[in-house]
Chain A
Amino acid sequence: MNKASSKSKGVVIEPQETRSSEASGDLLRLLVENIKEYAITILDPEGMVTSWSPSAEKIKGYKADEIVGKHFSAFHTPEDVASGKPERELAAAAKDGRYEDETWRVRKDGTRFWANVILTALRDKKGNLLGYGKVTRDLTERKRAEEQIRQQSREILEMATVPVVQVWEGIVLVPLIGVLDSERSQQLMEKLLERITATSSPVALVDITGVPTIDTKTAQHLVETIKAVRFVGADVVLTGVRPAIAQTLVHLGIDLSNVTTRSSLAAGLRVAFGMLHLCVSAESAD
């Protein structure tokens, strides 16, 4: 038993006589009663609620007489209860002394809140489990703020990774730099098509000078992009096809035979001018 108690972690409850004065006990009680941000709950070893702080009432909606004596799984989502999570949490806290989690919890009225939960095993000096201390913090607002920031930074990143510029009336240009993975190529397609339709540009120059290597996936993304551009009624000139890229494309068996390609951006631009000019000359030739 002695060996076990030295091994088992958690808060050790001191016997009454070694505790500080009655007055500091009162102060501790006052602290617990006045803390607003944390719901403080004491559970017995089976997980039944034995003590309930005023802040817990405010955060979770139960009055003390409604929840004391009930199992703490009342705060869990039905999905968590079904998967046996409340029991696993108690077991983890008993084993390691402490269990912490950020998760969805449920208020009395059924609404959910994003909670930081810390469960601490409470043991006497001999290592016997007396129960658990549970501190719960409502982080719903913080989570919403984090989501918003994540969303904003993603939008900024999108702007930076796929810059689409109009270089001439009727011509837009995308200089691609770096690796073209599936997420980026989705952004490329969306931005490019938006700009093409917004500026009524019949020609799009896609410059891959800054793309270090091309694999089958990347090539497929390019082929898809070109196809989508054609669906909205414009055409792509692929520029910056360096010798190494040309070799790779042929070795991979990527068919770009009906796509206009040029090695340099300058050459591609001339083709684009030609395409716009051709429209005019074809009309007068007919």
Chain B
Amino acid sequence: MHRETITVIKVRGVLMVTMPADPDDATISALQEKTLEAMEEYEARGLILDLSRVDTLDSYFARTVTETGKMVNLMGGQTIIAGMRPAVAITATQLGLNLAFIRTALGVDQALDLMSEEHPV
């Protein structure tokens, strides 16, 4: 089984991570470690997590996302989830997942706008 890798890039002081379509648990936990390391290294304003490719968000994945969001907040940044697909959003609602305290945006563009409004450089 090949393992997909997580790439964290920095754009205008913001970290951007695009999640693969169907990540295994190891890839999901790598998300948290890599993001927090990058937050420290770049002193980023926040994290934009692009979920537009993700087609299954189960409770393990969702928990890692909310935890990471809280940790990024503690390190002084903001987390925005971008591009969640309709089917994933409906399923997440029905499953009772809670992404409280995390902002959402329709796409990466809108997320970058939000980030500039609320956390200007």
Contacts and interface: CB of A to CB of B under 8 A. Distances in A.
B81 A193 contact: no
Interface stretch (A80-88, A123-131, A228-236): A228-236
Contacts of A286: 117-118, 120
A147 B87 CA distance: 25
Given A232-B86, A232-B89, A233-B83, A200 B107 contact: yes
B117 A231 contact: no
Interface string B85-110: 11111101110000100001111001
Contact of B110 (A186, A202, A229): A202
B90 A197 contact: no
Contacts of A282: 117
Classify chain A's interface size: 20 to 34
A13 B98 CA distance: 74
B90 A228 contact: yes
Taking chain B's interface residues, is the majority helix, strand, or loop, or is none over half, making it mixed?
Answer: helix
A284 to B, nearest CB: 10
A196 B107 CA distance: 11
A233 B84 contact: yes
28 contacts: A189-B93, A193-B86, A193-B89, A193-B90, A194-B86, A196-B86, A197-B86, A200-B107, A200-B110, A228-B93, A231-B81, A231-B84, A231-B88, A231-B89, A231-B93, A232-B85, A232-B86, A232-B89, A233-B82, A233-B83, A233-B111, A279-B113, A279-B117, A282-B117, A283-B116, A286-B117, A286-B118, A286-B120
Q: Which 9 A-B pairs have the closest CB atoms?
A: A193-B86, A231-B89, A233-B106, A233-B104, A233-B105, A228-B93, A228-B89, A232-B89, A227-B93
Interface of B: 81-90, 92-94, 99, 104-107, 110-111, 113, 116-118, 120
Interface of A: 186, 189-190, 193-194, 196-197, 200-202, 224, 227-234, 279, 282-283, 286
